[in-house]
């Protein structure tokens, strides 16, 4: 049996990340995947990067998400292509603050992260780590996505297991020929439960088992740290962390 722990969308929430990693350590996975959106919005982006760099040095597969593009290079059209009328000033302010807070070395590490990673198990099962969907950091597997679009997106990879995030809504979707494991968010979840979500994937022969786990963290402390920063939009970001629901 091979076990993979996967998490995504930390969004600068160091309290949530550290709590999740403690839970992951207890299950002793064979691999850890972190599927992007690492630093924007939260109050502790530098600590998040430092923890993830250590994790990557120990063999974790870490990739970038769309908001990491915004933070590293201010390429807002690439990061938020659906915002046709321009990116709100609150997002720009948060991206610039995060970039400056990280400093050149951490930003360079963030910039050099790949958009996808692949891990093959026993020359048989291929597992893809992507942010939104295969080949895209912005086109995700929304819960109400048209089934035909879902089929088209999963067909962009030969991987049996697609590990992703982006929607902040944890879900395991078994399509038979492929399994989508959306880990939700380890720091900025939208489903109404103010905990951090992550996934444990078990591969036994040809069988794929995947389960979403929820880890408690001090959501009030994380929210208060965001509020204390005082950037435009922080009152909404703090409320999102505190309630587990997107507030804007």
Distance CA 19, CA 100 (A): 26
- Which is nearest to 14 in space by CA: 166, 186, 131? 186
Asked if residue 128 has pLDDT above 80, the reply is: yes
Beta strands in the chain (DSSP E): 2-7, 31-35, 61-63, 117-121, 125-129, 161-164, 171-174, 179-182, 196-204, 207-215
Q: pLDDT category, 180, cuts 50, 70, 90?
A: very high
Q: Span 215-219, mean pLDDT?
A: 98
Asked if residue 171 has pLDDT above 80, the reply is: yes
Q: pLDDT category, 124, cuts 50, 70, 90?
A: confident
Chain-centre distance for alpha carbon 131: 7
Average model confidence (pLDDT) across the chain: 97
Tell me the two tokens of residue 62.
């870490």
Tell me the two tokens of residue 152.
């088209």
Ordered by start, the domain boundaries in the chain are: 2-243
Spatial CB neighbours of 94, under 8 Å, sequence gap ≥ 6: 40, 41, 231, 232, 233, 237
Q: pLDDT category, 187, cuts 50, 70, 90?
A: very high
CATH fold of 2-243 reads: Purple Acid Phosphatase; chain A, domain 2 (3.60.21)
pLDDT digits (tens, 9 = 90+) for 188-216: 999 999 999 999 999 998 899 999 999 99
Distance CA 203, CA 4 (A): 8
Distance CA 52, CA 180 (A): 24
Distance CA 70, CA 111 (A): 10
pLDDT digits (tens, 9 = 90+) for 14-51: 999 999 999 999 999 999 999 999 999 999 999 999 99
Give the CB-side neighbour count of residue 123, counting CA atoms within 13 A. Answer: 0
Q: Report CA torsion sign: 130, 134, 137, 140.
A: negative
Length of the chain: 248
Residue 122, pLDDT score = 81
Calculate the alpha carbon distances from 237 to 112, 136, 176, 196, 244 in Å. 27, 25, 37, 15, 10
End-to-end CA distance of the chain: 43
Q: Span 112-125, mean pLDDT?
A: 93
pTM above 0.85, yes or no: yes
């Amino acid at each position: 049996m091979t076990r993979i722990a996967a998490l995504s969308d930390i969004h600068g929430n160091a309290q949530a990340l550290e709590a999740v990693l403690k839970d992951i350590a207890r299950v002793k996975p064979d691999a850890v995947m972190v599927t992007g959106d690492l630093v924007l919005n939260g109050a502790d982006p530098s600590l998040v990067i430092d923890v993830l760099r250590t994790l990557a040095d120990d063999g974790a597969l870490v990739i970038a998400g769309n908001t990491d593009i915004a933070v590293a290079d201010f390429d807002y059209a690439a990061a938020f292509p659906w915002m046709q009328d321009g990116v709100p000033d609150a997002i720009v302010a948060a991206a610039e603050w995060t970039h400056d807070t990280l400093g050149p070395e951490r930003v360079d590490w963030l910039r050099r992260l790949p958009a996808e990673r692949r891990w093959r198990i026993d020359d048989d099962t291929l597992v893809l780590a992507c942010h939104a969907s295969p080949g895209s950091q912005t086109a995700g597997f929304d819960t109400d996505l048209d089934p035909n679009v879902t089929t088209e997106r999963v067909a962009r990879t030969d991987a049996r297991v697609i590990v992703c995030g982006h929607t902040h809504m944890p879900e395991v979707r078994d399509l038979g020929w492929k399994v989508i494991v959306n880990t939700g968010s380890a720091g900025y979840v939208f489903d109404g439960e103010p905990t951090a979500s992550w996934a444990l994937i078990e591969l036994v022969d040809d069988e794929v088992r995947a389960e979403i786990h929820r880890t408690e963290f001090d959501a009030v402390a994380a929210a208060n740290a965001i509020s204390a920063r005082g950037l435009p939009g922080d009152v909404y970001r703090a409320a999102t962390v505190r309630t587990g629901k997107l507030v804007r």
